[in-house]
Amino acid sequence: MKRAAILLALLSTGPALADSKQPPAALSYTQLADPAQEARAKALMETLRCLVCQGQSIADSDAEMAGDMRALVRERVAKGEQPAAIRSYLIQRYGDYVTYDPPLSWVTAPLWIAPLLLLLVGVLLARRLFRKGSA
Amino acid sequence: MRRVLIWAPLVLFALVFGLVASGLVTPADRTVRSAMVGKPLPGLDLKPLLASKPGIATADFAKGKPRLLNVFGSWCIPCIAEAPQLLALKRAGVEIDAIAIRDTPEAVQAFLARNGDPYARIGDDPTGKAQIALGSSGVPETFLIDGQGRIIDQHIGDIRAEDVPAILRKLEAAK
């Protein structure tokens, strides 16, 4: 009886929500009136990581914090700020992790240099082998 | 030379294999730390959320005494768990300011009445602007600010009883 009552009580519980009950920021779900500005804002939002749902961009995420970040991006774009400046503002706060388009640094340099190096090794290797074959 | 070199591909493979395997077994750390630690507090000017307490202004943090800046919400469950530790810190003489994220005066009043009130000031951050300015990615988070208004550390998640001595030590060292 007691067990059944506990199970029944568990059925009626709601999930514990980790969100506030406040309405979202004005520009988090509303596009900018100027289509060109909205396009710039959207392009930037798609390259910024949601810090709550970390596989998603802030354009895709429904987390409240992603909404706040969208509102921030749109407000700043509407004020005429360059997307690159908004990105660097966020990188200053959260590090390179916040962008899906990380700037070139000592950490990211191997991503760019390694393919070139491997290609070079490949060419040298091929040249040596072909020379041997013709001789 | 040849006899050594012939093992190179296998060694290379073992290295890559080891790297991938270790990445698979070590749990990923998904916390995003603020890049503002070590830098001066960003310019904040937040309206008071409650009539009984002042809001948050950056200038108030450069008055010689280290302070805590707690990012919280009345809607945040771990913030309730953290409340007794903040009260313990207050009893130890620490001054604690707060930024309330997406909150209302009524809800915060009720939260403080129920869980105790450790705060000297509470700033209102209705759209998370101050939270983003601090590089905070959730609630609760607590920033340690030295007497010159520089962020010296960030505590992510609720402060547990075992974290209190370390926080007191860091604040003491920042004097």
- The confidence score (pLDDT) of residue A38 equals 97
Asked if the structure places residue A14 within a domain, the reply is: no
How far apart are alpha carbons A25 and B128 in whole angstroms? Answer: 9
Average pLDDT over residues B58-85: 95
Quote the mean pLDDT of chain B. 95
Cα A54 vs. chain centroid, distance in angstroms? 7
B125 in any annotated domain: yes
In a domain, B7, yes or no: no
How does DSSP assign A15-69, residue by residue? Answer: P---S-SSPPPTTTSS--SSHHHHHHHHHHHTTBB-SSSTTSBTTT---HHHHHH
User: How far does A85 lie from chain B, in Å, by closest CA?
Assistant: 14
Question: Is A133 a residue whose pLDDT tops 70?
Answer: no
Q: Is residue A36 part of a domain?
A: yes
Q: How many structural domains does chain A have?
A: 2
CATH number at residue B60: 3.40.30.10
> Over the stretch A55-111, which tens digit does the pLDDT of each residue have?
999 999 999 999 999 999 999 999 999 999 999 999 999 999 999 988 888 888 999
Looking at residue A15, what is its pLDDT? 54
The CATH number assigned to the domain holding A33 equals 1.10.8.640
Kindly tell me if the per-residue pLDDT of B32 is higher than 80: yes
Which residues, including other chains, have CB under 8 Å from residue B134's CB and lie 6 or more apart? Answer: A93, B34, B36, B41, B42, B69, B71, B99, B141, B143, B151
Instruction: Say if residue A132's pLDDT is above 80.
Output: no
B12-to-A6, A123, A125, B21, B138 alpha-carbon distances in Å:
57, 20, 17, 14, 41
Contacts of B30 in chain A (CB under 8 A): 54
User: In total, how many domains does chain B have?
Assistant: 1
Please indicate whether, in this complex, the C-beta atoms of B126 and A22 are within 8 angstroms of each other. yes
Classify residue B77 by burial, with Cβ atoms within 10 Å: 0-12, 13-18, 19+: middle
Mean per-residue pLDDT, B129-157? 96
pLDDT at position A13 is 64
Check CB contact under 8 Å for B137 and A51. Answer: yes
Indicate if the pLDDT at residue A14 is higher than 70: no
Q: How confident is the model at residue B122 (pLDDT cuts 50, 70, 90)?
A: very high
In angstroms, what separates the C-alpha of A20 from chain B's closest C-alpha? 5
User: For residue B60, is it within any domain?
Assistant: yes
pLDDT, position A7? 78
Domain co-membership, A35 together with A94: yes
Whether B14 is in a domain gets the answer no
Nearest-Cα residue of chain B relative to residue A71: B127
pLDDT band for position A25 (50/70/90)?
confident
Q: Choose among B123, B101, B132: nearest CA to A21.
A: B101
Segments forming the whole domain that contains residue A70:
23-102
Q: Is residue A18 part of a domain?
A: no
Residue of chain A whose alpha carbon sits nearest to that of B135: A93
Q: Which helix (H) or strand (E) holds B144?
A: strand B141-145
> Are A80 and A49 part of one and the same domain?
yes
Judged against a pLDDT cut of 60, whether residue B38 lies above it is answered with: yes
- B73 is in which domain, residue-wise? 45-173
Please indicate, yes or no, if residue B29 is contained in any of the structural domains.
no
* Residue in A69, A72, A94 nearest the CB of B32: A94
Q: Are A74 and A127 in a shared domain?
A: no
Instruction: Give domain status of residue A44, yes or no.
Output: yes
